[in-house]
């Protein structure tokens, strides 16, 4: 099946292994700009997290499937994508053994225990991150300034953390200027810094520009559709404004764009119908914003998407005709009446 026809299939379960490999290869290519920039931004430690996470995911899948007498399926590249995503949504200073644990949990607990590729109800990479956040909250919320050695002297809060702890958007801009990440303490300069990606954060979530480059590539190949990402980002923007938060800052900071592009478009754990995709994106964006505004965590993308994963099967059934259903025929009118 040609790559530009992948979305014409009614269900991911009908894809061949070759189809899956094409999709996964396209996703890996789309992630490369953010991956390379993350290594440039945070240095060798970030590269270590990426390599360990990918290797652990591939090894975990192969060993589990061999132990259960199944085809290892390494060639479909799905484990590579899972390991890469786990790394890109993790801090660059994450201890390597934690990166390995998160990748193994993502593959084994979120995918293989449910029957393998195509049967997982939740996004595997987000399950891996959720387990790490619950188990090692300090390590998963320790951030470092870009373009420097990852030492205690360079730790800094993410833009969302600054606001969550009572600061303002202006404080974020002032912090960028102080560390030489922005040219002036004005609002537009701060937004540009967020868009380009010179900020503390997860390895692959910093540059909105490069995430959008990957998104454009996937759209061009018709590997993903625009409905869910647009609905998620748009809802985040609108609800942030309604709740009294800066909507532009809300979209450019944190991982909402990365999550909308690479997580909310997962073939298996998200709806396949257009209406389902729309509702999924709206729900993920709304939950993300509510957690940011009222929750204990500054970010809510992980749980926003995972919660919507749980109801994705129901969303696919909205306005879908029942198979074999025939509406009852109306009784014929009697003659002369």
SS3 144: strand
Confidence of residue 299 (pLDDT cuts 50, 70, 90): confident
Q: What is the pLDDT of residues 138-152, one digit of tens each?
A: 888 877 777 654 544
145 and 219 both lie in a single domain: yes
- Classify 215 as helix, strand or coil: helix
Kindly state whether residue 173 falls inside one of the protein's structural domains: no
Instruction: Say whether both 147 and 257 belong to one domain.
Output: no
Q: What is the pLDDT of residues 21-55, one digit of tens each?
A: 899 999 999 999 999 999 998 889 999 999 999 99
The predicted model gives 309-324 an average pLDDT of: 74
pLDDT at position 92 is 92
Percentage of residues in the chain having pLDDT higher than 90: 51
Looking at residue 259, what DSSP letter applies? I
What's the Rg (C-alpha) of the chain?
22
The CA-atom distances, in angstroms, between 53 and each of 44, 88, 133, 295, 326 are: 14, 10, 16, 29, 52
Residue 333 counted as domain residue: no
The pLDDT value given to residue 321: 53
Domain enclosing residue 58, as ranges: 1-6+16-158+200-223
182-201: average pLDDT: 75
pTM over 0.75? The answer is yes
Please indicate, yes or no, if residue 102 is contained in any of the structural domains.
yes
Residue 237 has pLDDT above 90, yes or no: yes
Of residues 193 and 61, more confidence is placed in 61
- Do residue 31 and residue 147 come from a single domain? yes
């Amino acid at each position: 099946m040609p790559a530009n026809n992948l979305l014409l299939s009614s269900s991911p379960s009908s894809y061949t292994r070759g189809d899956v490999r094409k999709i996964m290869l396209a996703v890996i290519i789309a992630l490369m700009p953010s991956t390379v920039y993350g290594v440039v931004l945070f240095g060798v430690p970030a590269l270590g997290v990426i390599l360990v996470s990918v290797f652990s995911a591939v090894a975990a899948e192969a060993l589990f499937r061999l132990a259960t007498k199944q085809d290892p399926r390494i060639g479909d590249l799905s484990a590579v994508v899972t390991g890469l995503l786990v790394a890109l949504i993790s801090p660059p200073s994450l201890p390597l053994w934690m990166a390995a644990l998160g990748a193994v949990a993502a593959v084994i607990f979120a995918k293989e225990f449910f029957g393998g590729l195509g049967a997982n109800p939740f996004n595997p990479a987000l399950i891996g991150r959720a387990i790490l956040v619950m188990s090692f909250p300090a390590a998963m919320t320790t951030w470092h300034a870009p373009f420097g050695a990852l030492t205690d002297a360079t730790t800094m809060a993410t833009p969302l953390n600054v606001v969550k702890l009572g600061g303002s958007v202006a404080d974020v801009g002032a912090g960028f200027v102080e560390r030489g990440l922005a040219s002036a303490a004005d609002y537009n300069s701060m937004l540009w810094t967020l868009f380009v990606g010179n900020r503390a954060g997860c390895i692959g979530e910093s540059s909105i520009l490069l995430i959008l480059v990957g998104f454009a590539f996937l759209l061009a190949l018709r590997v993903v559709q625009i409905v869910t990402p647009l609905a998620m980002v748009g809802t985040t923007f609108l609800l942030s404004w309604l709740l009294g938060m800066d909507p532009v800052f809300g979209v450019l900071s944190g991982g909402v764009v990365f999550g909308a592009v690479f997580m909310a478009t997962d073939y298996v754990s998200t709806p396949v119908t257009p209406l389902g995709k729309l509702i999924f994106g709206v729900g993920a964006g709304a939950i993300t914003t509510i957690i940011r505004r009222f929750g204990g965590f500054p970010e809510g993308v992980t749980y926003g998407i995972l919660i919507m994963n749980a109801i994705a099967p129901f969303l696919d059934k909205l306005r879908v005709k029942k198979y074999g259903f025939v509406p009852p025929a109306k009784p014929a009118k009697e003659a002369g009446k």
